[in-house]
Amino acid sequence: MASPLNHNHLYYFWLAAKHRNLTRAAAELGLAQPTVSAQIRSLEEQLGAALLTRRGRTIDLTEAGQIVFRHADEMFRISSEIPDALAGRYTGQPRVLRVGTSDFVPKPVIRSLLEPLLTEDPDVRLVCREWRIDELLAELALFHLDLVIADRPHPDSSRVRAVSHPVCETAMAIFAHPSLARTLRRHFPRSLHGAPLYLPDRTTTLRHSLDRWFEANKIEPVVLAEFEDRELLKTFGGGGLAAFPAAATIESEVRRQFGVERVGWVRGVRETYYAIAVRRRVMHPVAQRLFARATRSLRGPEQPPPRSGSRSRRNSRG
C-alpha cells in the first residue's frame, strides 16, 4: 500500500497551481519561495511524476499535475465546507453563484430561472458566463462554475459525477414575419414543405427533434441557414426571408422584439432545459434553492387541441 500523501505538500502545490505562480503562493502561505518549491518537489518525488514546469515567472501544469490539481481542488473545497456542514449552514463572503449558460438556451428563460434568486437573497451575486456546452462542462468539472444551464442533461458517459435537474420545459412553435406567416398559416404544417426556414445547428437537441418531426410529417423545407446562436437565428427570422422555430414560453418576447407572428405549433416537439451541478456533499445554497424548485418546472403554453373547424383556425393564429 502506498504511503499517504503529505497534505501540507499537496496544499502548497494546489495554491501554486491555482495562482500559476510560486511567488504568490509563497506570499499567501507566509513562507519563502524556496521552501514552497522544496515541499512541492517532495510531493513530486513521492508521486514519481513531475507536476509543474516553469515558464518565465509563471508555471504550467504537466498532464500529471492537471490530474493531481483536479483531485486536490475537490478535496480542499470539500474540507472548507466541513464547519458549515456541521453547523447546518453554508456561508460565503460574498455569496457568489458562478453560472455557465449555453447559447442554445433562450436568454429570457435564463433570466426567469436566475432572477428570482436575486430577489430572494439580496446578498447573492451572479457571475454569468456563456460558452459552448462542452467547454462549460469542463469548467464545471474543475469547479470553476457552480452551475450550468443547458439544453441537454449531463452525459452519462462522463466521468464527472454530476446531477442534472430539468428546470424548464416548453412547447415549440414556428414564427415568421407577418407577410410570410399569413402564407404559411394556410394548410400548416404541410405549408412548410418547400418553404424557406432558418434552423438551429445540427448539433443541438432541438434540431434533432425538428428533423424527426419533419420526417414524420413528410416535410422537406428549404433550409436557408443554420445557427449556433439562437438570438441570431431569431434576428434573421425577423427579416422576413424565412420562418424559424422558437420556444413558446418566450412567445411574447419573440413577437415584440422581432416583429413576427406565430405560424403554428410544432406538435409533439418540446424542449427541456437543465440545471447541471457537480454532485457534492454540500451543494452551493443558491443552486440548491434553484434545484428545490425543479419539481415545479416552468412550462410554456400548452399546445392547442387537435383542429376541429373554425375554433382551431383561430387558435393557430395565436
Is residue 223 domain-resident?
A: yes
pLDDT higher for 165 or 56?
Answer: 165
Are residue 124 and residue 149 in the same domain, yes or no? yes
Residue 178 lies in domain: 169-271+305-316
User: Across all residues in the chain, what is the average pLDDT?
Assistant: 84
Are residue 130 and residue 264 in the same domain, yes or no? no
Identify the three-state secondary structure at position 283. Answer: coil
Q: What is the pLDDT of residues 147-194, one digit of tens each?
A: 999 998 988 766 667 889 899 899 999 999 999 999 999 999 999 999
Are 282 and 84 a contacting pair, CB within 8 Å? yes
Is residue 238 domain-resident?
A: yes
Q: Does residue 267 have a pLDDT over 50? A: yes
Are 102 and 130 a contacting pair, CB within 8 Å? yes
Q: Does residue 308 have a pLDDT over 60? A: no
Are residue 69 and residue 212 in the same domain, yes or no? no
Are residue 124 and residue 16 in the same domain, yes or no? no
Are residue 116 and residue 253 in the same domain, yes or no? no
Residue 312: give its domain's CATH number: 3.40.190.290
Examine residue 116 and say whether the peptide bond preceding it is cis (omega within 30 degrees of 0): no
Are residue 216 and residue 253 in the same domain, yes or no? yes
Residue 77: give its domain's CATH number: 1.10.10.10
Does the pTM surpass 0.75? The reply is no
Please tell me the distance from the alpha carbon of residue 193 to that of residue 314, in angstroms, as a whole number. 22
Are residue 259 and residue 197 in the same domain, yes or no? yes
Is residue 2 domain-resident?
A: no
Is residue 264 domain-resident?
A: yes
Is residue 1 domain-resident?
A: no
**All residues at 6 or more sequence positions from 277 whose CB lies less than 8 Å from its CB, including other chains:** 140, 146, 147, 148, 162, 163, 283, 284, 287, 291
Q: Which amino acid is at 2?
A: A
Is residue 102 domain-resident?
A: yes
